[in-house]
Amino acid sequence: MKPTLQTHDEEAPTTPESWLAPRQGWMAGRDEDGRLLVDFPGNPGGPAAATLAMPMDTQAAKAAVARRQAVMLVFERADPRRPHVLSLVYTPSETPLLDSVLEATAAQPPEDVRVDGKPRALDVKGSETVSFSCGAARVSLQPQELLLACWDVRVKLTRQELLLQCGEASFLLQRNGRAVTRGVRIESHAEDTQRITGGVVEVN
């Protein structure tokens, strides 16, 4: 829901009887004592300090003044110098379905991060290294590197290569097309034909 202010091209009447009826105005600022000021069509004396029928914290009040929040006013003893804010004025959104989806999304904590089974909002920033651990499992983030480790099993990912390592065995894939397999003992089995082809084949 988005607040909108309805403007009037004609000045409202200023007879004593006219101040008995509610009328629409807007948040106009705050005075030296922090009270909210409102203005309205036909105002004979400029923005006036108003009382409110609803609670409003400092941050909400600043936002209302900044956007000239529309309000519904009544006047104590029909005196335009003594306005009272009955309510804020809203108009239906032009995109109610989108608004409802955005509000529902904003109200839910992200579920991709859980601590002891409970979803937690996570906002962590670091210029060099950010690490998370749980028991033997560890995640380490650097500007150009992601490392996953648990016991002696590691997965390292950078822009240039992917390394899978388990103890003495490892498999390295590089962006330039190089693939390296290392281990104490390497075995390769095929149920059918196994071929080794290459521009140059070296066996040492």
Compute the distance between CA of residue 154 and CA of residue 88 in angstroms, rounded to an integer: 58
Compute the distance between CA of residue 11 and CA of residue 50 in angstroms, rounded to an integer: 21
- pLDDT at residue 14 tops 90: no
What is the three-class DSSP state of 20? helix
Among 98, 95, 88, 99, CA closest to 4:
88
Domain range 2-7+14-91, CATH class? mainly beta
pLDDT tens for 28-73 read 998 888 889 999 988 888 899 999 988 888 888 888 888 888 999 9
pLDDT tens for 113-147 read 666 667 666 565 656 677 777 778 888 878 778 88
Compute the distance between CA of residue 47 and CA of residue 175 in angstroms, rounded to an integer: 67
| Per-residue confidence (pLDDT) for residue 7, from 0 to 100 | 42
Count Cβ atoms below 10 Å from residue 93 Cβ, excluding itself: 13
Q: Where are the domains of the chain?
A: 2-7+14-91, 128-182
- pLDDT at residue 21 tops 70: yes
Compute the distance between CA of residue 83 and CA of residue 49 in angstroms, rounded to an integer: 7
Q: Do domains 2-7+14-91 and 128-182 have the same CATH topology?
A: no
Among 75, 96, 66, CA closest to 18:
75
Report residue 85's pLDDT band, with 50, 70 and 90 as the boundaries: very high
Among 15, 16, 70, 14, CA closest to 39:
70
Q: What is the pTM (predicted TM-score) of this model?
A: 0.40
Count Cβ atoms below 10 Å from residue 84 Cβ, excluding itself: 16
CA dihedral of 150, 156, 162, 164, whole degrees rounded to 10: -20
Inter-residue contact 100 to 108 (CB < 8 Å):
no
Among 14, 16, 21, CA closest to 43:
14
| Per-residue confidence (pLDDT) for residue 131, from 0 to 100 | 78
Compute the distance between CA of residue 48 and CA of residue 39 in angstroms, rounded to an integer: 7
- Residue identified by tokens 């390497």 is 186
- pLDDT at residue 193 tops 70: yes
For all residues of the chain together, what is the average pLDDT? 79
pLDDT tens for 150-169 read 888 999 988 889 999 999 99
The dihedral of CA 93, 98, 103, 104: what is its sign?
positive
Domain range 128-182, CATH class? mainly beta
